[in-house]
């Protein structure tokens, strides 16, 4: 017998119908939140930032690539890192597939990190990605948008993080304090006339919108199988999981 409540088809249909009511409530709430996001005031970005790209130095306005909307994923990869954050890497695995669809809606999506460009490009090649990844090295961008901190700032609280974080830090070639000098996030910008404006930003669990696997895991029998203190501790880069044999190899 399965280790879960079982039912007849009629009972299952009734239970599913009740859950569907709640799912529809959530959908309507999500639609309402989407409207509220569109109503957020815009913040003019007054400082001029320069980024290093495969095509040379570019301003924030030039990163829009001729479109009017820009989505930036702040990827945790500091100047001293030897590799990108495993969690950010798991998120970025889904980016390539959506770029053409976003471009069709006048949206450019890129990643920005503080590591030098050559490190980012080498890691991008390892991961098999092709999305545009630019460096804010020697720029104030990460600091101004609160996605980088000093070691002194992090040291005040880094000893309170779960033990598994040390594995993430080691995987990046740094220590826990160094790991948390960089922070993930999603920022959205718009171009209007000659100005660039910040229109939306989120981090922490707000990033689940770009963590494609969580939406799927929330619908399988075991769910995420996450609970404190092992939240996200299962995550690895896609080339670091133990390989599962294909069904045909099992004999």
| Interatomic CA distance for residues 12 and 10, integer angstroms | 5
Which pLDDT score is estimated for 11?
A: 96
Q: Is residue 11 part of a domain?
A: no
Q: Is residue 37 part of a domain?
A: no
Residue 62 pLDDT > 60 = yes
For position 206, which CATH number holds? 3.40.30.10
> How is the beta sheet containing 43-44 ordered, strand by strand?
43-44, 195-202, 185-192, 69-74, 107-113, 133-135, 50-53, 56-59
Residue 2 pLDDT > 80 = no
Q: Is residue 33 part of a domain?
A: no
Read off the tokens for 24: 């529809």
Residue 230 pLDDT > 90 = no
Report residue 102's pLDDT band, with 50, 70 and 90 as the boundaries: very high
Q: Is residue 25 part of a domain?
A: no
Q: Is residue 190 part of a domain?
A: yes
| Contact status, residue 238 vs residue 89, Cβ threshold 8 Å | yes
What is the total count of domains within the chain?
1
Least confident of 23-37, 78-92, 153-167, 173-187: 153-167
Q: Span 63-72, mean pLDDT?
A: 98
| Interatomic CA distance for residues 80 and 51, integer angstroms | 18
- The range of the structural domain enclosing residue 184 comes to 43-210
Q: Is residue 19 part of a domain?
A: no
Which pLDDT score is estimated for 68?
A: 98
Q: Is residue 220 part of a domain?
A: no
Q: How does pLDDT run across 161-208, given as a tens digit for each residue?
A: 888 899 999 999 999 999 999 999 999 999 999 999 999 999 999 999
Q: Is residue 144 part of a domain?
A: yes
Q: For the chain, what is the mean pLDDT?
A: 93
């Amino acid at each position: 017998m399965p280790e879960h409540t079982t039912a007849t088809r009629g009972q299952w249909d009734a239970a599913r119908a009740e859950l569907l009511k709640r799912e529809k409530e959530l959908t309507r709430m999500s639609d309402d939140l989407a409207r509220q996001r569109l109503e957020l005031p815009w913040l003019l970005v007054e400082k001029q930032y320069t980024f290093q790209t495969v095509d040379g130095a570019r301003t924030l306005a030039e990163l829009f690539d001729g479109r009017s909307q820009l989505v930036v994923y702040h990827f945790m990869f500091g100047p001293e890192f030897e590799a990108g954050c495993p969690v950010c890497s798991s998120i970025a695995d889904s980016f390539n597939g959506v770029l053409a669809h976003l471009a069709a809606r006048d949206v450019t999506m890129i990643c920005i990190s503080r590591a030098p460009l050559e490190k980012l490009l080498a890691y991008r090649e390892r991961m098999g990605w092709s999305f545009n990844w630019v460096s804010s090295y020697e720029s104030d961008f990460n600091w101004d948008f609160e996605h980088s901190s000093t070691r002194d700032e992090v040291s005040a609280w880094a000893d309170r993080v779960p033990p598994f974080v040390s594995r993430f830090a080691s995987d990046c070639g740094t220590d826990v304090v160094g790991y948390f000098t960089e922070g993930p996030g999603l920022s959205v910008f718009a171009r209007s006339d000659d100005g660039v404006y910040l229109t939306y930003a989120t981090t922490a669990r707000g990033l689940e919108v770009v963590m494609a696997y969580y939406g799927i895991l929330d619908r399988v029998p075991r769910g995420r199988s996450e609970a404190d203190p092992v939240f996200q501790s299962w995550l690895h880069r896609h080339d670091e999981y133990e390989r599962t044999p294909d069904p045909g190899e099992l004999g």
